[in-house]
Structure 1
């Protein structure tokens, strides 16, 4: 029987970590090949090409490195892979997934997974997550779904998934919409049909800088007042509630929004920003009049990635349209 081709890349993270000495803490040391050896069942499911592209904790990933991983993944599809799986750390997993999802222009799935327990820890979840991710990558019903995150037996869409617990096994969820699917008895089940995707071209330049600030009670405006002189090309603010700022922060937005794109998201873990409810100074209606864009359902971190990519491909003038048209999180 001809087996399908599947590509796996390891770029580090807890799934690849072991302690080299007692009490020294775990660090990335386990290669992709070693990870695959812990899941012998894979060899009966597919012809697997596995490569180790990095040994990094996910906090140290950057956009340029992710673009190189994307190039590798694109090549795997060109070589006949029916799906691509990437293992990485969970700290920035939701951000990597969003980054890839904006740029992944294949029907074949790109699946990200990781682990909450290190490779040598009792009850390590890495092998099970890797096997689940491979099953998702091989499944016909995973096609045309873009980038997916597979953790703890659940399948999450990249645009909605968030890490919502720092250390628990059930660390990932998709607020409001829930998981897109799940795995049961080795089978891949989806709970919703595929949705249209709006893929961006690759960024033409990557030196742009987008700041992310969070509003907090009685915060000063020193960083805001220096955003332009520091050379930032865009600004995202995680605002209070439905996308609100203090009066002093709102006033500081006036000059900034005339020069660079400004997005106001919510610092809450769930829910959208408003557009036409609050009229006070610093409310969303006031901020829109000052030139800011409201993030809608996009969390601050994902809004920053979108803005970075739009600036990189010179589409920042379309920001409001991209935020408005990205209605996938609103669908049940």
Structure 2
């Protein structure tokens, strides 16, 4: 029987970490090849190609690195891979996933996974997550679903998933919408049908900058006053509640929105921004009148990535359409 071809890229992260000496903190040292050796069942499922593209904690990844990984992943599909799996650290897993999702135009699955426990820690979850991710990437019913995150036996859509716990095994969830699917006794099952979605072209330039600021009680406006002087090309605000800010912040946002795109998202971790509920100074109605756009269900971090990508391909005029596109958020 001719087994399907599966490609795996290792970028580092906790799934690749162990301590060199007793009592020291763990660091990325385990290559993709060594990680693959911890999952011998894979040899019965697929012909596996594995490459170690980096050994970094995920906080040190950047957009340039992710564009290189994306190019590698698309090449693997061109070479006959029926699915691609990427292992990386969980700190920026949700951001990397949505970055890829906006650019992944292949029918073949692209699946991200990682670990909450290091390679040598008792009960390490890395091998199980890698095996689950590979099963998802190989499953026929995973095609045309864009990019997904597989952790702890659950499958999450890239645009919904968030890391909601710092250390727990069940660190990943999709607030409001729940997981897109589950692995039950090695079977890949989905809770909702696949939904067609549009993707963006690759960015033509990558040197632009998008700032992310969080509103907080009694915060001053010094950073806002200097956003334009510092050369930022876009701004995302993590606002209170349904995306509210103080009156002083609202005044500065009006000035900034006249020059660069400004998105207001909610800092709460769950739920959507409002559109026409509140009318006070600094409310969503006031901010919309001042030129800001509401992020909807996109969290501030993912809204920043969307804006960066749109600016990079000079399609920032389509920002409102992408923010209002909830097709991937409807089970």
Into which bin does the TM-score normalised by the smaller protein fall?
over 0.9
In the alignment, is residue 88 of structure 1 matched against residue 82 of structure 2?
no
Give the structure 2 partner of residue 9 of structure 1: 9
In the alignment, is residue 232 of structure 1 matched against residue 252 of structure 2?
no
Shift of 1:326: 3.2
* 2:258 counterpart SS class: helix
Give the structure 2 partner of residue 103 of structure 1: 103
Give the structure 2 partner of residue 168 of structure 1: 168
- Cα distance in 1 for residues equivalent to 2:27 and 2:41: 27
Give the structure 2 partner of residue 27 of structure 1: 27
Which portions of structure 1, spanning 4 or more consecutive aligned residues, are displaced by more than 3 angstroms? none
* 2:274 counterpart SS class: coil
Shift of 1:24: 1.6
Give the structure 1 partner of residue 187 of structure 2: 187
Shift of 1:255: 1.1
* 1:254 counterpart SS class: helix
Write the mapping of 1:192-207 to structure 2, written as runs, cut at 5 A: 192-207=192-207
Give the structure 2 partner of residue 297 of structure 1: 297
- Cα distance in 2 for residues equivalent to 1:327 and 1:105: 16
Give the structure 2 partner of residue 51 of structure 1: 51
What is the aligned-residue RMSD (CA, Å)?
0.6
- Cα distance in 1 for residues equivalent to 2:275 and 2:191: 30
TM-score normalised according to structure 2 size = 0.99
Give the structure 1 partner of residue 133 of structure 2: 133
CA contact (8 A) 2:135 2:188 kept: yes
Paired residue total: 331
Q: Deviations over 1:171-212 (max 9, x none)?
A: 000000100000011110000000121100000000010000
Q: Deviations over 1:271-312 (max 9, x none)?
A: 000000100000000000000000000000000000000000
- Cα distance in 2 for residues equivalent to 1:288 and 1:301: 20
Shift of 1:327: 3.8
- Cα distance in 1 for residues equivalent to 2:328 and 2:186: 27
In the alignment, is residue 146 of structure 1 matched against residue 146 of structure 2?
yes
* 2:192 counterpart SS class: coil
- Cα distance in 2 for residues equivalent to 1:22 and 1:326: 49
Shift of 1:254: 1.3
Structure 2, unaligned runs of 5 or more: none
Shift of 1:321: 1.0
* 2:273 counterpart SS class: coil
TM-score normalised according to structure 1 size = 0.99
* 1:259 counterpart SS class: coil
- Cα distance in 2 for residues equivalent to 1:38 and 1:118: 13
Shift of 1:21: 1.0
Structure 1, unaligned runs of 5 or more: none
